[in-house]
Amino acid sequence: MDFLNKAFEQVKDLFTSMTPGSRIIAGLLVVAIVTSVAFLFQGEMFEKEVPILSGAPIAPADQTAIIAAFSTEGLDNYDVKGSQVYVPRSRRVDYIAALVKNNAIPPSFQDAAEQAIGEASPFESEQHRADRQKMAREKEMALVLRNMRGIEYASVQYDIEDKGGFPRRKVYTASVVVRPSGSDELDAKTAKSIQNYVAHSIAGLSSEYVSVMDLNSSRTFSGGIDDLESVSDDPYAARKKWFENHWTDRIQNALRDIKGSNVTVNVEIDPEMNRIEKGIKYDPRPTPLAQSSEKTSEMKKSLPDGGRPGLDAQGPALANGQAAVTARPLNEQTSESNREETLAVTNQDYTQMQIASLTPKRVKVSVSIPSQYYADVWHAQNPTPEGQALATPDPGELKKIEDETKKSVEETVITLLPEQPKGDDPYPQVFVRTAPQISDTPTPEPAIADTALAWLATNWQTLAAIGFGLMGMMMLRSMLASNGGAAEGDSSFRLEDPSTGKGGDGAKKDEEAENNMQGLLKKRFAQTSGPNLKNELAEMVKEDPDTALGILQTWIGSPN
């Protein structure tokens, strides 16, 4: 404290000894210093308002709940800017307490599900529990969609319809309503991502039954198979792009030693999809499985036609009858039959073939090579001796290198492309051209004046603060120097002794003493540093009290 008191006394004495003009200059100097410090340290430490949630973005739906909580607690000193809510720095704790009290803190993931589980009761019905869990899941999905970049608002609803029957069948449908940020419109790619997310979040739901509605454009994205909202949904376009990227990467990798080459690939896709071929082929020569044969022979004998007439010949033979005088031969008849059976089967070839869909039919490649590459190859083959100027290649040799390079590129690319039907010339598939070398126009460097102006526009505040500081220091230095010079050159400051009217030696000695003391005082007053006048007088009293007393008396009694 003693140090501070001494410093304060010194400043007070210095300020008291100043002239009115010097005091004005000193005051302006203090203002300049304070202004400079304010410029140098301006920033967050001087901010009156801060984001209530430390800069985390707040959705519009959550902002409504936050404003309602502020109104309930009577807090109205806030400002909504975009996705932020700014509150006074000094009362930020009160505003956060209002959010906690009114349950207005923006929800995080899984909060809705945890709340639904926590509110479960053994006395509630199964339908009520299912509805509560369904609403929690809808809130959870809507919260996830609101956190997507470019989505300001989102709402999700889904339903399950029991069709009954045997077996029982359920139909799942869902609808999503979103509002992109500002006046932006929802693009097809984002809509497809939303459909896939909702479909994979609900078991049994297909993305075909998820519709997405854009509130800004009043456009609905349906999930139907035939609803091709963008080219990326077209299987033909997607497969064509994939094959072109595939062959471009392979060819560029094969030609990576040619610096500056550019490869462009065009793939023609067979538009036929899901082709299945079935066929049955019969063998003209059947294969026997079993064979049987049967042979039959029959013989019949009978009397010949005619005979002795009368009853005796027709009747039965008598035991004592007259024997026949002559015997006649019998008639014989023989028959034969053959039968053969063969069980055979005909060979059948059953073929079912499914051909890959959307396959490449023809691939065409265009390769451009910069003309500078041929010159580089020539210089590599004909190195210039050290110390000599770089030689200019002959046009004929460059043409030869160009033809060899093109032939090599064609042969390299052909090996990477699908095989063509026999008889077709494969080389029309590859086109190699030479790109002329065009010198790049150098970007002009910005002028020094433009650079200096841009730097000044960025740092003018810092320079102004430094200028104020330097000006203040120079003003202080000149002020102190002017005060010292005025004290030294002020001829009106004299100490007169009342005994100057004496004559003789006494008067002469008094005059010399007075001159000596005046010189001492002038010397001490001329000093710009060291003790002040009070300390100087104290030291003079210690050294020569009588002389000091005389000087003080003369000084006090002097009219000046």
Quick one: pLDDT band at residue 511, thresholds 50, 70, 90? low
Q: Do the strands 360-370 and 287-302 form a parallel or antiparallel pair, or are they unpaired?
A: unpaired
Q: What is the pLDDT of residue 560?
A: 47
- 439-454 average pLDDT score: 77
Cβ–Cβ < 8 Å for 362, 429: yes
Of the listed ranges 35-39, 81-85, 370-374, the one predicted with least confidence: 35-39
Per-residue pLDDT, averaged over 65-87, amounts to 87
Mean pLDDT of 240-268: 92
In this prediction, residue 168 carries a pLDDT of 78
Mean pLDDT of 80-87: 84
pLDDT digits (tens, 9 = 90+) for 382-434: 888 887 888 888 889 999 999 999 999 999 998 888 887 666 666 688 999 99
pLDDT (0 to 100) of residue 517? 53
Among 21-35, 37-51, 237-251, 503-517, which stretch is predicted with the lowest mean pLDDT?
A: 503-517
- Which positions ≥6 away from 165 have C-beta within 8 Å? none
When mean pLDDT is compared across 74-78, 443-447, 471-475, 555-559, the lowest value belongs to: 555-559
The residues near 36 (Cβ < 8 Å, ≥ 6 apart) are: 464, 465, 466, 468, 469
In the chain the first and final C-alpha atoms are separated, in Å, by 38
Tokens of 94: 């009160």
Average pLDDT over residues 201-206: 89
What is the three-class DSSP state of 291?
Answer: strand
Distance CA 417, CA 411 (A): 10
Rounded Cα gap, residues 142 and 201, in angstroms: 12
Identify the CATH assignment for 234-284+350-384+392-418+428-437 out of 3.30.300, 3.30.200, 3.80.10, 2.60.40. 3.30.300
Angle between helices 111-118 and 126-146 (to 10 degrees): 160
pLDDT, mean over the chain: 77
| Tokens matching residue 121 | 């009761």
Would you call 236 exposed, middle or buried from its count of C-beta atoms within 10 A (0-12, 13-18, 19+)? middle
Question: What is the pLDDT averaged over residues 536-560?
Answer: 68
Contact between 301 and 256 (Cβ < 8 Å): no
Looking at residue 177, the DSSP 8-state letter turns out to be E
Taking the C-alpha atoms of residue 480 and residue 22, their distance in angstroms, rounded to an integer, is 9
Question: Whole-angstrom Cα distance, residue 381 to residue 377?
Answer: 6
Structure tokens at 510: 């008094």
- Mean local confidence (pLDDT), 104-118: 69
Q: Please give the pLDDT value at position 198.
A: 93
- Tokens representing 288 are 């026997």
Instruction: State the pLDDT at residue 311.
Output: 58
Superfamily of domain 126-231: ANL, C-terminal domain (3.30.300.30)
Q: Which residues are CB-neighbours of 38 under 8 A, at least 6 positions away?
A: none
